[in-house]
Amino acid sequence: MKRFIPGEIMTLTVKREMPFGYVLTNGMEEVLLHKSEANTTLAVDDEATVFLYHDHDGRLCATMKMPKITNNRYDWVEVVDVVPRLGVFVDIGISKDLLVSIDDLPPLRSLWPKRGDQLYCSLKTDKRGRLLARLADEETMKQIAVSAPESAFNQNIRGRVYRVIKVGAFLISYVGYLGFVHESQWRNAPRLGEAVEGRIIAVKEDGTVNVSLLPRKHESIDEDAAAIYAYLESRGGAMPYHDKSDPTDIQARFHMSKAAFKRALGRLMKEGKVYQENGWTYKKE
């Protein structure tokens, strides 16, 4: 007989019924199936297919609710809570949410998943005997990936971040392409589990892609122009920035390069929305 292992699905036999649940056995061990976790009425000697996990008191128990993930099965699960001292909790489809340990999350808290983000996980038991959610590693992601064709170059891509490192982030697209985003190709670092949109800037020989999360130039000009104009309005229609301003000052205020600033400012001037005078930019009334 196979011993009880938290995180696995097993078919067990009802040994006896109690007022609040059923005692199940594999012939060697016993485990409690609470009646609130049973999806049907059982009798002695009936078989029940259950998932084994630890309740909130750390006791091994059973449920007939089937989880999305097990020790041997991966799937996307949603982040439902963030606890800074512990990690993040994910909904696996049973009454108890499971922890992705702080030890498996990025060192920078800003790169942790937020509620509603999704992580590709299975389950594991740590050295303390706790059942935890396990983040998929690179080899696991390769098993579900598909190769990108050369024709994917310059196409838009939508996907989810499954790993972050110091110089970039890895994502898998909704069609299965594995992609890498270098830190130079975003304005704000994407967090683990975040859904992102970008464009493919290179298709590599191994079928993976390089991705940029920066908008295309015409989209960037529109966004940058809107940001500049909004800042101008917030200052009553005048700001001490112009096309000769220091690049460091522009980057610090607008989070864009001087070249991008000049293109966007030029767009606003061409549209007759602003003008420059004595080192300042003014909104046209």
Query: What is the pLDDT at residue 220?
Result: 62
pTM here is 0.76
The CATH-assigned architecture of domain 217-283 is Orthogonal Bundle (1.10)
β-strands 156-165, 178-182 pairing = unpaired
CA–CA dist 259, 245 (Å, integer): 11
* 282 pLDDT more than 90: yes
CA–CA dist 39, 102 (Å, integer): 34
State the average pLDDT for the chain. Answer: 93
Query: What is the pLDDT at residue 205?
Result: 94
The CATH-assigned architecture of domain 146-212 is Beta Barrel (2.40)
Neighbours of 126 (CB within 10 A): 12
Q: Domain 9-63 - what CATH class?
A: mainly beta
Burial group, residue 94, by CB count within 10 angstroms (0-12, 13-18, 19+): middle
Say how far residue 275 (Cα) sits from the centre of its chain.
43
Q: Where are the domains of the chain?
A: 9-63, 75-136, 146-212, 217-283
CATH topology of domain 75-136: OB fold (Dihydrolipoamide Acetyltransferase, E2P) (2.40.50)
CA–CA dist 190, 163 (Å, integer): 10
Neighbours of 250 (CB within 10 A): 22
| Identical fold, 75-136 and 217-283 | no
* 281 pLDDT more than 70: yes
Per-residue confidence band for 49, with pLDDT thresholds at 50, 70 and 90: very high
Question: pLDDT tens digits, residue range 84-121?
Answer: 999 999 999 999 999 999 999 999 999 999 999 999 99
Smallest CA-to-CA distance from 110 within 219, 189, 31 is with: 189
Per-residue confidence band for 1, with pLDDT thresholds at 50, 70 and 90: low
Helix/strand/coil (H/E/C) assignment for every residue in the chain:
CCCCCCCCEEEEEEEEEECCEEEEECCCCEEEEEHHHCCCCCCCCCEEEEEEEECCCCCEEEECCCCCCCCCCCEEEEEEEEECCCEEEEECCCCCCEEEEHHHCCCCHHHCCCCCCEEEEEEEECCCCCEEEEECCHHHHHHHCCCCCHHHCCCEEEEEEEEEECCEEEEEECCCCEEEEEHHHCCCCCCCCCEEEEEEEEECCCCCEEEECCCCHHHHHHHHHHHHHHHHHHCCCEECCCCCCCHHHHHHHHCCCHHHHHHHHHHHHHCCCEEEECCEEEECC
Smallest CA-to-CA distance from 77 within 21, 116, 44 is with: 116
Say how far residue 35 (Cα) sits from the centre of its chain.
35
Q: Any idea what the Cα angle at residue 126 is, between residues 10 and 80, rounded to 5°?
A: 80
Question: pLDDT tens digits, residue range 147-158?
Answer: 999 999 999 999
CA–CA dist 8, 202 (Å, integer): 41
